[in-house]
């Protein structure tokens, strides 16, 4: 969910690299780019309610704060996982309870990257297997505009500031 944004576009690529069949949910204006990044299927959330489909998923990654266990568990396989990139403290605590009491899991909360993680991503970039999707490049003095684009919630890829 949010496959056309900065985190979502990275997740699409990493999912594909690790052998997943990736379905990306995004606005139709981002569909072609999300497909090019490796999504096998793209759902335009403006035209299709992805929650009403019959398909079941091993994992759902929500990068925009739309998914809860309650509104999406019916889309999971019996041991499926939901990852919440955007989760407040109550959602994080609730995810721990759900994960402790059910075979389906919800993963939320802070994580820390390691040097090995960053070296792995760098090696994928050097091999041409991973690329940051840059939707907008703005000069540093346009930082207010950059924030507006990011906070608007519908940007394409990453917003980069140049110095």
As averages over each run of 10 residues, the pLDDT of the chain (163 residues) reads 95 97 95 95 94 91 94 95 95 95 95 94 96 94 93 86 95
Position 44 scores a pLDDT of 96
Say how far apart CA 61 and CA 8 lie, in whole Å: 8
Position 94 scores a pLDDT of 95
Say how far apart CA 103 and CA 100 lie, in whole Å: 8
Cα distances (angstroms) measured from residue 8 to each of 29, 42, 90, 161: 15, 12, 23, 20
Query: pTM of the full predicted structure?
Result: 0.90
- By the 8 A CB rule, do 124 and 130 touch? yes
Position 9 scores a pLDDT of 96
Which residues, 6+ apart, have CB-to-CB distance to 131 below 8 Å?
13, 125
Position 54 scores a pLDDT of 85
Say how far apart CA 121 and CA 10 lie, in whole Å: 10
Which residues, 6+ apart, have CB-to-CB distance to 110 below 8 Å?
none
Give backbone dihedrals phi and psi of 80, rounded to 5 degrees, phi first.
Answer: -70, 165
Residue that is written with structure tokens 């402790």 in the block: 100
Structure tokens, 17: 């690299």
């Amino acid at each position: 969910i949010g496959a056309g944004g900065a985190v979502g576009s990275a997740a699409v690529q990493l999912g594909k690299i690790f052998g997943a069949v990736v379905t990306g949910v995004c606005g139709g204006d981002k569909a072609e780019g999300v497909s090019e990044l490796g999504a096998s299927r793209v759902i335009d959330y403006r035209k299709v309610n992805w929650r009403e489909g019959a398909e079941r998923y091993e994992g759902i990654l929500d990068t925009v704060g739309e998914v809860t266990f309650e509104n999406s568990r019916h889309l999971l396989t019996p041991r499926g996982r939901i990852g919440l990139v955007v989760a407040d403290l109550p959602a994080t605590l609730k995810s721990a309870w759900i994960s402790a009491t059910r075979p389906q899991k919800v993963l939320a909360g802070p994580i820390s990257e390691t040097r090995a993680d960053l070296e792995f991503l760098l090696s994928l970039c050097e091999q041409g297997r991973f690329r940051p999707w840059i939707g907008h490049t703005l000069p540093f003095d346009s930082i207010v505009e950059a924030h507006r684009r990011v906070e608007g919630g519908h940007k394409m890829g990453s917003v980069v500031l140049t110095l």
